[in-house]
Amino acid sequence: MKLKFVHLKDVALSEIVALNTHPLVMRHMPLSDGNFDEEVCRQWVAGKESQWEQHGYGPWAFLIDGRFAGWGGFQYEDGDADLGLVLHPDFWGAGKLIYEAMILRGFGEMGFDSVTILFPPGRRRVKGILKLGFQPDGETEIEGERFIRYRLSRPPPCR
């Protein structure tokens, strides 16, 4: 399986729209209202791309064997680099590979001291992120929705 990180602007809008409106994907995106057509997508992509200019990091699109698999990366959220990962159901099995590649970049070349993940309070399946080392770190609110924040700190250097 060949994984490639590209900018969202390099993916067809129709593919991003199809992903972000997929019913199985929308169940995990509490800020989504289903109103995500190509014009909304164009503005959304511009906003995601502007994070790279403003903060030096932002979300990528993921290609697996040349196919658009999803998007994610680090987004500025109230002083934190918040990790997000949205995959098409056809690629849900690739989540760990993509996560590991993002974490290597985040703690390596991007130099983050910690990263966060935000889950809606109704998300009960958190054992996986706890096994990865994330710890509960309070709550936050985005667009009127409450989220539980989990934080992963950079591991100490090997001696």
pLDDT in tens, 30-58: 556 667 888 989 999 999 999 999 999 99
β strands within the chain, DSSP E: 3-6, 59-64, 67-77, 80-87, 114-119, 135-142, 145-153
Residue span of the structural domain in which 33 resides: 3-112
| Selected residue with higher pLDDT from 144 and 35 | 144
Q: Please indicate, yes or no, if residue 117 is contained in any of the structural domains.
A: no
Question: What is the domain-level CATH number for residue 50?
Answer: 3.40.630.30
Nearest to 152 by CA among 136, 128, 138: 136
Q: For the chain, give the mean pLDDT.
A: 89
Overall number of domains in the chain: 1
Q: What share of the chain is helix, strand, coil (3-state, %, to 5)?
A: 35, 35, 30
**pTM, 2 dp:** 0.88
Distance between CA 29 and CA 88 in Å, rounded? Answer: 13
- pLDDT of amino acid 105: 95
Q: Does residue 25 fall inside a structural domain?
A: yes
For residue 102, is pLDDT > 90? yes
